[in-house]
Structure 1
């Protein structure tokens, strides 16, 4: 997507808020993370480019309507939906990442120190890659998930480090593997003083940025060797469709107990906490997972694509 296309998308969003949602230019500025003057110019640009007539002639208008429906249906405070069109794979991931980076940037621009808890996943990392560099050393990034492999090496799940490098802020790594070798081994990791310090930081986070994983043969946890093929099959027999930082969620949106729980070291997640938990996920392979997470009230915000949004809205 070119810089001009992104500007046009932003103008369409501003026009939708102004002409359809009836929001003020100050409201638009705050939601888009721009100044009031920029918001005013975006509304004017939408008119000049012919996006505004009886209705807004742009795919973003449909997406914003879907976002509002998701917010109403699932009680979200934050939601952005990007046009899917013919995109899948890397193209769709790029679009979600660009939109997600705008949402992340709203937190990173705050002058007040923020504790930002970060999960894992390829979508989350792609979103952070789209962030510009920030001179924001007042913020702290804390990991929600262990990024140490069984051989002691750090893995690609160490996503929070990428955000810390973007902000120049402090970074707190969770000093543990995702799954310990045994329940006894997990107790050793989780009772360490540094582990308790980091998880306490995570519990006090102002916002959590998190990915949503699907659970199927060939899913990232399976491919990267964290869960075996037989374990995937047993999870599917329990109707597990989603995973967030190692927690498994069934198609009804409820947490599913598994044989892996006694070895899991990541920060505990609970639904309907009232906390700001924003997820980034999309694509056909994630439809069931996203819907389950929404049903269970695990998140307060979602950045996704229009087909994923339609799927979630079609569920009873």
Structure 2
């Protein structure tokens, strides 16, 4: 860092401290520093963009506590974190983006808390847009002993939700190591699945995944509009087949019916990754965002596999009402 950059960094820190911690108005800061209010506003914005400032809001309220308690009791959870309800608008896609962002913020705070233990952590990660939102919100940490391992195969194209991207970015943010599962999300056949699962690099990665302290998973719904179909991970005939077998949700490459049971579909034997037995043996933290995923979320919560839930407030309301 050169001298001019270092001076600007110091100025950003000073302004952020005066404004956010000291509670000084922009006019008061202008008088103290001799800077114009316009320049102070611009520099405060830069402090947020460069993550010198990370805004944290105490989101707990009577409503979110009541929703969390209701979901914890209903589904036998160890912990449930509910974001404040934002309310539905006329734009469902924008609502879902906001829900993912809210859950991402809470999930990042949860993960940062879990990484503070003395034991070197091993964290298993799924991929998905909500997982990516969590990684985007992670604060810088110094856990060089942390290991982050992908639990399932990769997307067929470059995307921010690709396990390579989220695991690698999380490891860089925390100073740890990333372990990628070198396999596709789905194989062409069961025979190809067996060949890939027998590869030494795949076996080594999954052996580490089996040692993980906990898994963080997101999920999808099973429909023609689902992420895995819209992004070409499943062909139309494949998604139709899994839907006809009763699937309403997919998590970690496995497909589940409304009762949370794995469906009798061959697709469950073509997705490299951790097994159903691995899931049952591990603590799973499920990230749930968006009203469109209500049926899928309820199904997975009935599976008995989910131990902790981080959910947006509007979806939590629907889940608390029940069937």
- Aligned partner of 2:207 among 200, 204, 210: 200
Shift of 1:279: 0.8
Asked if 2 retains the 8 angstrom alpha-carbon contact of 1:271 and 1:297, the reply is no
The C-alpha deviation readout for 1:195-222, integer Å capped at 9, x for no partner, is 1111111111101111011111121101
Name which of structure 1's ranges 108-117 and 242-251 shifts more when overlaid on structure 2: 108-117
- Aligned partner of 2:276 among 269, 273, 277: 269
Shift of 1:254: 0.7
Is 1:170 matched with 2:182?
Answer: no
Q: Tell me the distance in 1 between the aligned counterparts of 2:279 and 2:191.
A: 31
Q: Secondary structure at the match of 1:181?
A: coil
Unaligned 5+ residue runs, structure 1?
A: 14-59
Q: Tell me the distance in 1 between the aligned counterparts of 2:55 and 2:113.
A: 20
The residue aligned with 1:309 is 316
Q: CA RMSD in A?
A: 2.3
The C-alpha deviation readout for 1:39-94, integer Å capped at 9, x for no partner, is xxxxxxxxxxxxxxxxxxxxx21111110111111111121011223251222221
Asked if 1 retains the 8 angstrom alpha-carbon contact of 2:100 and 2:129, the reply is no
The residue aligned with 2:14 is none
Q: Tell me the distance in 2 between the aligned counterparts of 1:4 and 1:62.
A: 25
Is 1:7 matched with 2:82?
Answer: no
- Structure 1 residue runs of 4 or more that deviate by more than 4 Å after TM superposition: 2-5
Give the greater-gyration-radius structure (CA): 2
Structure-2 change in CA distance of 1:85 and 1:7 (3 Å): closer
TM-score normalised by length of structure 2: 0.76
Asked if 2 retains the 8 angstrom alpha-carbon contact of 1:274 and 1:300, the reply is no
Structure-2 change in CA distance of 1:199 and 1:8 (3 Å): closer
Q: Tell me the distance in 2 between the aligned counterparts of 1:312 and 1:125.
A: 23
Q: Tell me the distance in 2 between the aligned counterparts of 1:232 and 1:6.
A: 40
Q: Tell me the distance in 1 between the aligned counterparts of 2:278 and 2:64.
A: 26
Q: Tell me the distance in 1 between the aligned counterparts of 2:244 and 2:66.
A: 36
Q: Tell me the distance in 1 between the aligned counterparts of 2:279 and 2:119.
A: 26
Q: Tell me the distance in 1 between the aligned counterparts of 2:84 and 2:149.
A: 31
- Aligned partner of 2:236 among 229, 244, 249: 229
TM-score normalised by length of structure 1: 0.77
Q: Tell me the distance in 2 between the aligned counterparts of 1:168 and 1:109.
A: 13
The C-alpha deviation readout for 1:213-271, integer Å capped at 9, x for no partner, is 11111211011111112222222222311111210011111111213233221211349
User: How many equivalent residue pairs?
Assistant: 264
Q: Secondary structure at the match of 1:290?
A: helix
Unaligned 5+ residue runs, structure 2?
A: 1-47, 89-94
Name which of structure 1's ranges 281-290 and 84-93 shifts more when overlaid on structure 2: 84-93
Structure-2 change in CA distance of 1:126 and 1:4 (3 Å): closer
Q: Secondary structure at the match of 2:248?
A: strand
Asked if 2 retains the 8 angstrom alpha-carbon contact of 1:270 and 1:298, the reply is no
Shift of 1:272: 8.0
Shift of 1:182: 2.0
Q: Secondary structure at the match of 2:178?
A: strand
